[in-house]
Amino acid sequence: MSSQSSSARARLLQERHLIGGPEEERFERIVRLAARLIGAPVAHLNVLDDSTTWTKAAVGSEQKQLPVGETFCQRVIETQQAVVIEDLRTDTQFRDYALVTEKPHFRFYAGEPLSIGDEVVGTLCVLDTVPRQLTPDQRELLRELASWAQSEVDNAGLNELVGALQDRESRLATLLDAVPEAVLLVDEKFRLTPTNPAGRTLLPSGTSALRDVFPLLSPDAPPFLERRGEGGAARLPVETTLCTPDQRVPVEVSVAPLGLSRAPWRWLVLVRDLSDLAQADAALRRERRLTSLILDSTTDGIVGSTTDGTVFLANRAATAMLTCRSGDLVGHSFQEVARPAADEQGQMTLSRRDGSRFPVELATTPIQVGEEVVGSVDTFRDVSQRLEMDRLKDEFVGVVSHELRTPLTSIKGALGLLSSGAFGDFAPEQAQLIDLARSNADRLGFLVDDILDLDRLDAGRMPLNAENVDVVELARQSVDSLDGAARAAGVTLQLLDEAGAADVSADPMRLVQALCNLIGNAIKFSEVGDTVVVRVSRDDAVSAGSVTVAVTDSGPGISQDQQRAVFDRFHQVNPADRGSRKGSGLGLSVAKGIVERSGGQLWLRSTKGQGSTFGVTLPALTTPRGREAT
Amino acid sequence: MTAPDGRRRLLVVDDEPDIRTLVTMSLERLGGMQVVPADSGHAALDLLANDPSIDGIILDVQMPGLDGPSTLERVRELPHGATLPVVFLTASVQPSQRRALEQLPVTSLISKPFDPVTLPDLVRSAFGW
């Protein structure tokens, strides 16, 4: 007996679960029969691994396990055949064994081999305490019983196999239940049978003809299956449409040949429902269609280009304005097709296909993905019509201004002549009425002037003849020109020069106009006896430096929520307080427009009840006097 | 040439009667001048052709028919018009237009709207009287 054979035996016994475990009923019946039929007091069914003789069933003995070297069965294993020892005391090997020399004092042993495959792994044996012989019938009986036992041992393997198969099947069933794909079996007649829940959901009516299920495949369905099957590939999916009685479902189908010789099934078909994917795809397509509809519905031209300038998108308005087809733009350079260039007036223009040019508003914006610039979008709008409208409006404003100014000039002139005394003196009430008419004519004149100024500021057409001017000097001019008005209102004007050199670049006439509007406002909102302070200062904290003219009154102040509105057109602060403080409501808007066009800022600081400060801050041109000296 | 009473004689050309009235009253009542009004460029040229006693012209720029600059051109062609002092009366505020007018052979520009009370002073200083 080789050790190799011994471990092979042990392994076989382990696999069949024959070592350890309870005694088995199926073997007990055999040993009982053996004892009775042979007429022996003891019978065993033993299996032997490398070291131990295990008793699977016994009659007339309590023995459960013994070292192999103490049992007689070892000879059956060694000889691989039946063994009969008529008197153990005469056997040179066994006569000194405890089982012989001590209780139960065995004298007789007969054992038949039991095997797994070719390997003898155990015995069916009978023992007696007296020496004896077995008749041929008894030997035949023992052999029959052994072959019964052998079949039980073999069955033990079969049971194991069945158990293993059952395990595997239930694992497979769990798997089949869990997979989202419908698993279908196809037979030779191209009938589909669902094998899992997903399959039964797909084919609620059970086995169905391939043609009915895949009508789109049907003309060449069997070849399709053959073709798919040939490669033996597990997955060569095709997308198609599955027809159920109520719906058509987009699916992905994979086919694998089964290669079973006897079963009717020839192919395994996996069907994956693509509805969700299809829906997402449809949603994406819908969104794209919507986006392109929006792009094509806008009246602005939109052209998308990659970083190298190649157009990848052009909407309908773009091609319509440029009088070209989409293909003339897409794949080409926007610069080369539309040739954007400014005309003599600085107006941006684009070129049509025929070479004619039209004025546009053109904006180019980078397309960014995160930090990276991946292209650009050119957006443009034909402004021919708007420019024409602007021209007409200018004309209209020009005409209106002339038409308004002319009668006003006459009214003011006539009243001025009357009150000049050239035509004699008037009674006090007559003089009062003439003054009333004059001041209102003046107001109307200011209003017309302000409207014209605002219109020009809006259009960017207010001519500003910028030159280097000393703000202190301009502030003085403004104060001087309003001195009369201030005195009439009982208000003192005070000019504080804290700036030293305060040169800025501005149109002196317009800057004086803006300052006069601010000072005039301050006077309007002051009480008799108040002082309006005009302070010119310089701030060199910022790099280039700036000059500020601040006009401070001690009037009623402006509440926080009204502060933004004061620059609105025709806005009158606190109308209830207006009384005689009549203005056009445009002065601040005009001042703001002039200051901003000059590159400066008009600001307001005020607290209700504590007066207001309106300030003009402009970029300074020179370093302050005194700085140079130090 | 001056009026028989020693007053300056001014030809005032404007298509608007109100302006003519104001200028006339201002210059006659306050300025002590004598005004000969004309309602168009053509009327002004006719008057000039027949009245060599005019000392100067106040000429509106914007007029239907012959406008200020065209009238000026014809005035300069008259025998005694070449050196006659002419002042334009203009409502234009566009610097470019003002500059264009200043290029013409005129003495000065007076802006509309003008103050009739100070107009005589403006006219006197423009003509150097």
Tokens of B58: 């106040």
| Residue ranges of chain B whose CB lies within 8 Å of a chain A CB | 16, 18-19, 22, 25-26, 29-30, 62, 91, 93-95, 112-117
Q: Mean of the pLDDT values across residues A490-502?
A: 87
Q: Which residues of chain A lie closer than 8 angstroms to B117, CB-CB?
A: 416-417, 420
Rg (CA), chain A: 57
CB A419 within 8 A of CB A435: yes
A527: DSSP letter: P
Minimum-distance CB partner of B29 among A406, A412, A422: A422
- Residue A629 pLDDT > 50, yes or no? no
Taking CA–CA distances from A461, the nearest residue in chain B reads B94
CB contact under 8 A, B26 and A423: no
Predicted confidence at residue A511, as pLDDT, reads 92
Minimum-distance CB partner of B95 among A406, A416, A463: A463
CA A329 to chain centre: 32
pLDDT tens digit string along A298-322?
999 999 999 999 999 999 999 999 9
B contact test, residue of A399, A408, A409 with most B CBs within 10 A: A409
Q: Mean of the pLDDT values across residues A157-164?
A: 74
Q: Which of A443, A452, A340 is nearest to A402 (CA)?
A: A452
A to B CB pairs, distance under 8 Å: 54
- Residue A2 pLDDT > 70, yes or no? no
Q: How far apart are CA A254 and CA A183, in angstroms?
A: 10
- Residue A5 pLDDT > 70, yes or no? no
Predicted confidence at residue B40, as pLDDT, reads 95
Predicted confidence at residue A575, as pLDDT, reads 43
CB contact under 8 A, B22 and A445: no
Q: Mean of the pLDDT values across residues A149-171?
A: 80
- Residue A579 pLDDT > 60, yes or no? no
**A250-254, A510-514, B99-103 — most confident range:** A510-514
Predicted confidence at residue A228, as pLDDT, reads 47
A contact test, residue of B12, B27, B28, B29 with most A CBs within 10 A: B29
Q: Which residues of chain A lie closer than 8 angstroms to B112, CB-CB?
A: 405-406, 409
- For chain A, how many helices (H) and strands (E)? 19, 25
Q: Mean of the pLDDT values across residues A211-235?
A: 52
CB contact under 8 A, B113 and A417: no
pLDDT tens digit string along A357-376?
999 999 999 998 888 888 99
% residues pLDDT > 90 (chain A) = 32
Q: How far is B54 from chain A (nearest CA, A)?
A: 25
Q: How far apart are CA A350 and CA A339, in angstroms?
A: 6
Residue predicted with more confidence, A396 or B89:
B89
Taking CA–CA distances from B26, the nearest residue in chain A reads A417
Left (φ > 0), alpha (ψ -120 to 50) or beta: where does A240 sit?
Answer: beta
CB A187 within 8 A of CB A209: no
Annotate A33-52 with b (16+ C-beta within 10 A) or e (fewer): bbbebbebbbbbbbbbbeeb
A117: pLDDT confidence band, cut at 50, 70 and 90? confident
| Residue ranges of chain A whose CB lies within 8 Å of a chain B CB | 402, 405-410, 412-414, 416-417, 420, 422-423, 445, 452, 463, 465
The upper half-sphere exposure of residue A421, i.e. CA atoms within 13 Å in the direction of its Cβ, equals 0
pLDDT tens digit string along A55-110?
989 999 888 889 988 899 999 999 999 999 999 999 999 989 999 999 889 999 99
Tell me which residue has tokens 């509105």. A565
Note the ipTM here.
0.75
Predicted confidence at residue A23, as pLDDT, reads 64
pLDDT by residue for chain B (129 residues), tens only, comes to: 555 677 899 999 999 888 899 899 999 999 999 999 999 999 999 999 988 889 999 999 989 999 999 999 999 998 888 889 999 998 766 667 788 888 888 888 898 878 888 999 999 999 888
Question: Mean pLDDT across chain A, nearest whole number?
Answer: 83
Q: Which residues of chain A lie closer than 8 angstroms to B95, CB-CB?
A: 463, 465
Q: Which residues of chain B lie closer than 8 angstroms to A412, CB-CB?
A: 113, 115
Main-chain dihedrals φ then ψ at residue A454, nearest 5 degrees: -60, -40
Predicted confidence at residue A243, as pLDDT, reads 65
Q: How far is B114 from chain A (nearest CA, A)?
A: 7
